[in-house]
Structure formats: C-alpha cells, structure tokens
Amino acid sequence: MFQKLKSYKRLSLVLLISFVFGCTQTEPDLLKVVKIKDGDTIVVLTKDNQMVTVRLAEIDCPEKSQAFGQAAKQFTSDLCFGKGVKLQGNEHDRYGRTIALVILENGTNVNYELVKNGYAWQYSQYSKNNAMLAGYQQQAQQQRLGLWRDTNPTPPWEFRKGERELKQTNNENTHMPRKHRSRKRKSRRDTIITGFDLQ
C-alpha cells in the first residue's frame, strides 16, 4: 500500500513537471511592439532586450507625407502597439530590417488587416501568387475603404520613385558649375568720393 502511494506521488510529480515544461515549450516567444515608425514598419523588443526593426512583409503602406500615411501609422499603432506579437519570416532587407508577417497573440495578421482596411497595398513585387491578399485589396477597393476613398491613389513605390527623381534633379542643379562672368572691376579711383560729388 505504501509502495503504491509512493509511486502515485512520483507519477503525479512527473506529470506536473511535464505539464509545466510542456506549456512553456509550446508557448510562442512573443515580442513586445515598442514603437511604430510608420504603417508598415515597427520596432519590437526581444526577451533579451534587443530592439529589432521589422518591415511588414508583402504590403506597402502610404509614406508618412502621403495621403493616408498618418492614418496607416495610427491604424498599425491601434492594432499592435504595446502588444505581444510573433514574427513569421526572418529575411532581411538592404537596410537590415527583418521582413516578416506580424501575428498578434489572438492570431490576427497585422499585415493582412492593413490591406483589408484600405491602409496598404499588396506589394506585388514582393508578394507573388498571394491570392488571399489580392482578394483583400480588391474588397477594400470595392468598399472604398481607407486610401481607396481617393479616386486615383498613388502607390507608395511610385511616390518614392518620384521623390528620388526630384531629389536627384535638385542635387544636379545645386552641383552645376557656375558660369564665370568676367566682371569689370572698378578702379579705386572710381570709388573715391571727392568733395564735388557730395552735391
């Protein structure tokens, strides 16, 4: 009897440890969203207190200086600022940002929500064959949500291209050599005021 009781205690202890260990192992590593840079770029804090800049994959929000740029940033903030998220994807862009889908603890895909609500385009150059995302964009267009209230919204990649071209043109204009004109220098005699000139 004592032996059976002892083995039940051991079994209970092993099950309890397995349960606790199993729960911590299956829990996803959530990262806290600590900053919203713009609609499609956030900063997360890892468990070891490292800040990681994340560019939301497959979508492109209006730039902050574009129409609906600030609204997109606010939408992203309302959706995930201060919350725990997990990232799907670990590629990096040329700026060193992590490119990922951002998933809230409840399973909400932040990237897709932005497109669904008309605050982002599907970034077709980097989102090939994603029929679901294309469908969300088409639905937002039909319902005239967010940026689709404008009759002809400018995609951010075209806006950025225009900004780069304008900057390049301005740089070329400021670096153009000045034409040196030959100026006739006044002689010192011409600039001396005599008493007769004062009248």
Residue 189 bears catalytic tag: no
- Of 97, 105, 144, 172, which residue is the catalytic one? 97
- Of 10, 63, 91, 163, which residue is the catalytic one? 63
In this structure, the number of other CB atoms found within 10 A of the CB of residue 180 comes to 6
Residue 36 is given by DSSP the state E
The answer to whether residues 36 and 55 touch, using CB atoms and an 8 Å cutoff, is no
Residue 160 bears catalytic tag: no
Which residues, in sequence order, are bridge partners of residue 40?
A: none
Q: Provide the strand spans (E) within 11-138.
A: 31-38, 41-45, 51-56, 59-60, 84-92, 98-104, 121-122
Residue 63 bears catalytic tag: yes
Burial class (CB in 10 A: 0-12, 13-18, 19+), 157: middle
Angle at 165 between CA 171 and CA 94, to 5 degrees: 100
Residue 109 is given by DSSP the state B
Assigned token pair, 38: 């713009």
Give the three-class secondary structure for 59: strand
Active-site positions?
A: 55, 63, 97
